[in-house]
Amino acid sequence: MKNTDDSTRSLLASILDLVEIGDGDFGAIGRLAEASSDPESIQLTIDRLSTHPQAKKAFTSRTRLKPIYLAKLHQLPAGTLGHSYAEHMLGNQLKPLQTPPAETEQQFLATHITETHDLWHTITGSKTDICGEIQLEAFYVAQLAVSRFWLALLTKNLLKSLLYDLDATTGYMDALTKGWLMGKQAHSLFGLDWDALWETPIAEVRASLNIVDV
Amino acid sequence: MKNTDDSTRSLLASILDLVEIGDGDFGAIGRLAEASSDPESIQLTIDRLSTHPQAKKAFTSRTRLKPIYLAKLHQLPAGTLGHSYAEHMLGNQLKPLQTPPAETEQQFLATHITETHDLWHTITGSKTDICGEIQLEAFYVAQLAVSRFWLALLTKNLLKSLLYDLDATTGYMDALTKGWLMGKQAHSLFGLDWDALWETPIAEVRASLNIVDV
């Protein structure tokens, strides 16, 4: 690429790597996360999120999720957030993601997004297949106001579809559109106190966040 | 790129060129059009379009637009398709695109899309700025069922936004979503006999095609 600095080159390279490597390679996703986390855009995300009191409070307190015991959450009544989340995790053979301590706002942004990622899957009804991921990626782009990382994942998927799998386009575009509209319409999820909501009916949590199927 | 044939490499290269060169470079767009016009995907577009009787008939007759005289169309009453189209062209200092003869279905696909492009701008209310182009690109992706070229333009724009202009993201995503939804909802425009519609109120043409602002 011409007229382009090293960080932009490395971001583009990490997107093209992901196009080649295939979905779900955590190493490649980690490299993309690093390449897309330039200080300026991360600060912009923090600034924009902080216009919401809930996110501002979260950046100050940097409260983390309490340890999650899936078997225990699974015993909550069907229809609660906790039961639905445990179903999602156990059904997809997922374990809660481990995250490092967060001592700065920048670290908290990454940590909070990572540790609540599967909760966002659950609450938005986004499956773990590629269309579900695309839907959630677009939801993040809408919710975080500016996010180089999630926009990069979304673009990577369109690039992949146009280079290698044109028949996937309609499903991808439908998922992107749905996630974008849902994410714009919903209240801000960042910094929500999920620990207080495990026993609440998921339909009630969705309604309170204005998460509506479009 | 690994495991990738020459045509895919050249398609990717032409997308990255456009990211660098900037919008509206007709040479670079021409190179992308060539790189994205592999025989398989072009045939797939023709096959899918041909499931609509109007498009099937157009591929058989290969009827071209009659010569367009903007000054004459501009004299039609305000609100007609012809007047609106002439306003769009004159206001943006555009001239009807010249296209080569179409002796095959493949040539007709390219020629018809090119010569009706500004009519699609007019009828969908897509401006000629970058968001208007993105809206129309997504509309094409929806309408053509499979289109490597229009999906490439769309993806190029997201790539550009994530590499160089994050603040443009919201406008781009809104435009993409709007174009996609409008394009899915509208009847098939390909092969429409535009020459018969110049004097019809544009609102009436839009309604007959189910083109609705979303």
pLDDT tens, position by position, A62-77: 999 999 999 999 999 9
Cβ-defined contact of B159 to A155 (cutoff 8 Å): yes
Query: Nearest by CB to A162, which of B3, B148, B169?
Result: B148
The percentage of chain B sitting over the pLDDT mark of 90, rounded to a whole number, equals 89
Mean local confidence (pLDDT), A132-146: 96
Mean local confidence (pLDDT), B152-181: 96
The pLDDT value given to residue B1: 46
The pLDDT value given to residue A3: 47
Alpha-carbon span A60 to A52, nearest angstrom? 13
pLDDT tens, position by position, B112-148: 999 999 999 999 999 999 999 999 999 999 999 889 9
Is residue B177 less than 8 Å (CB to CB) from chain A? yes
Is 80 exceeded by the pLDDT of residue A22?
A: no
Q: Which of A179, A134, A151 is closest to B160 using CA atoms?
A: A151
Q: What are phi and psi of B202, to 5 degrees?
A: -60, -35
Q: What is the ipTM of this complex?
A: 0.95
| Amino acid, res. A157 | N
Q: CA of B46, closest CA in chain A: separation in Å?
A: 14
Neighbours of A210 (CB within 10 A): 10
Q: Which residues contact A47 (CB under 8 A, 6 or more apart)?
A: none
Inter-CA distances, B180 with A164, B64, B141, Å = 21, 27, 7
Total-model pTM: 0.96
Max intra-chain CA distance, chain A: 58
Q: CA of A76, closest CA in chain B: separation in Å?
A: 38
Of the residues A48, A153, A162, the best mutation for testing chain B's interface (the one with the most B CB atoms within 10 Å of its CB) is A162
Cβ-defined contact of B44 to A180 (cutoff 8 Å): no
Alpha-carbon span A60 to B39, nearest angstrom? 57
Alpha-carbon span B176 to A11, nearest angstrom? 23
Is 70 exceeded by the pLDDT of residue B4?
A: no
| Amino acid, res. A68 | I
Cβ-defined contact of A155 to B162 (cutoff 8 Å): yes
Mean local confidence (pLDDT), A78-98: 96
Query: Nearest by CB to B162, which of A2, A145, A148?
Result: A148
pLDDT tens, position by position, A183-199: 999 999 999 999 999 99
Is residue B39 less than 8 Å (CB to CB) from chain A? no
Neighbours of B33 (CB within 10 A): 18
Alpha-carbon span B117 to B33, nearest angstrom? 14
Is 80 exceeded by the pLDDT of residue A82?
A: yes
Cβ-defined contact of A146 to B163 (cutoff 8 Å): no
The pLDDT value given to residue A1: 46
Of the residues B3, B149, B173, the best mutation for testing chain A's interface (the one with the most A CB atoms within 10 Å of its CB) is B173
Of the residues A9, A25, A163, the best mutation for testing chain B's interface (the one with the most B CB atoms within 10 Å of its CB) is A163
Alpha-carbon span B115 to B193, nearest angstrom? 12
Is residue B58 less than 8 Å (CB to CB) from chain A? no
Record the tokens describing residue B35, joined without a space.
Answer: 């790189």
The pLDDT value given to residue B175: 98
CB B16 within 8 A of CB B80: no
| Amino acid, res. B100 | P
The pLDDT value given to residue A4: 64
Tally A–B CB contacts below 8 A: 90
Alpha-carbon span B199 to B81, nearest angstrom? 6
Cα angle: B53, vertex B205, B115; to 5 degrees: 65
Comparing alpha-carbon positions, the chain A residue that sits nearest to B167 is A146
Alpha-carbon span A193 to A63, nearest angstrom? 9
